[in-house]
Structure 1
Amino acid sequence: MTPAPEGPPLATLGDTLRGLRQARGWSLGELSAASGVPTSTISKIENGQMSPSLVHAINLAAALEANLGFLIDRGARPAAFSVMREGARPRLDLPEMGLALQDLHGDFAPGVLEARLGEIAPGGRSGDEPMTHPGEEICHILDGAIRFDIDGEVHDLGPGDTIHFKCSVPHHWENTAPRTTRVVWVFSDGLSF
């Protein structure tokens, strides 16, 4: 199998974030206030000195009303339909979480839904602190095991299990399998039409 393309270099990611921020006419401080991401962190991302954590990426995308795809250099315009072939899906690696995400929605016109194939290394987890962000989340387990803590209520899930919840509720997850856990994640950004 051909390796999936990786996300853009940090410099390209930083330029994309800066462009999205400037298109809104926002200063670093204004984006920080809207996203909850520290100004210093945004500056480091924009200057190619660090990659955002998944939580920061979600919060920046929500504040900028952008699809998480800004983290992946697609090089194409949004389309009315999209076909993603195995081995050709853009990939985003988040080593601090033991997580790799592959884009399932491709260049589809940004809207309410985003879909990702997640591969979580043994011991991989969303972090020490619960996260919150806009929208809803569905996680379907393909292989392995994952434990979700949704506002203090623990759910152990295995192959074929699915969880759906509002992301405004504090939540975190961890891979409880001794091997890589594979999941399909679908995120909404909470927009209503």
Structure 2
Amino acid sequence: MSTIMYISSEAPTLGALLRGLRSRQGWTLKEMSVKSGIPVSTLSKVEHGQLTLTYDKLYQLSQRLGMRMSELFAEEESDAEPVVTARRSLGNLATAVRVETPNYDYYYLCAELRRKRMIPVLARIRANTVKEFGQLVHHSGEEFAFVLKGSVALHTEFYDPVTLHAGESVYFDSSMGHAYLVPEGCEEAELLSVMAGGNEEEVQTALGSHAREKAQL
């Protein structure tokens, strides 16, 4: 049985996080709309859980607001983050931030940590063919993926497609075009993906570019 079926209703949502960000900045919906270039009606629906945002919109939002992508997914902190290296975060699906897209259903783990050098993501794969998926994804750094359920077909720019089954993994250069698909004969597929780059900015690029898709709001 898929672990995704056990998600708590108390999990932080994208809408709640954006509403918290707007509140901390003291912005009205109209002010945030002007700053981000996203319509007031769209922002309002996101905050009330009636709509989600594609990566393109999330990236546009972070760029217009002058923020890192990780800051959009981080909840308010009562104290400034201490300058230490021995930090940790205990994550689960109940505390993950969920973002739905046509190709993937994402759960960003340990989202409360800022300035991460790795980004762990649980993903449910939706697309079945490269045509359905659209343009292959490129982002700097490297990526590790471990199949949790079903089978996953990995299509890459320089290699023949490979099918990975539950318990199998792959590590690859993510600057190479790639796409995860559900192969024929498999009804559902889930994997754990960990994206990492040489520095924080590369990791933040990985966070969004992995979810880039053709669908627009």
Query: What TM-score, normalized to structure 1?
Result: 0.65
2:121 to 111, 116, 119: 116
Please say which of residues 73-82 and 138-147 is displaced more in the overlay.
73-82
Query: Unaligned stretches of 5+ in structure 2?
Result: 1-5, 24-34, 44-50, 201-217
- Tell which structure's C-alpha radius of gyration is larger: 2
1:158 to 150, 155, 165: 165
Residues 29-178 of structure 1 aligned to structure 2 (within 5 Å) = 43-44=37-38, 48=42, 52-54=53-55, 66=68, 68-72=69-73, 74-76=75-77, 80-94=87-101, 96-97=102-103, 99-121=104-126, 123=128, 127-153=133-159, 154-176=161-183, 178=186
SS at match of 1:8: helix
1:51 to partner: Cα distance: 5.3
Q: Distance in 2 between matches of 1:130 and 1:100?
A: 17
Matched, 1:184 2:178: no
Give the total of aligned pairs: 166
SS at match of 2:37: helix
Change (3 A) 1:164 1:188: same
Deviation track 1:155-177 (CA, whole Å, cap 9, x = no partner) reads 11111111111221111221225
1:112 to partner: Cα distance: 1.2
* Percent identical: 14
1:10 to partner: Cα distance: 9.6
Change (3 A) 1:137 1:15: farther
Does the 8 Å CA contact 2:17/2:73 hold for their aligned counterparts?
no
Query: What TM-score, normalized to structure 2?
Result: 0.58
1:7 to 14, 17, 21: 14
Deviation track 1:119-178 (CA, whole Å, cap 9, x = no partner) reads 224748783111211221111101111111111421111111111112211112212253
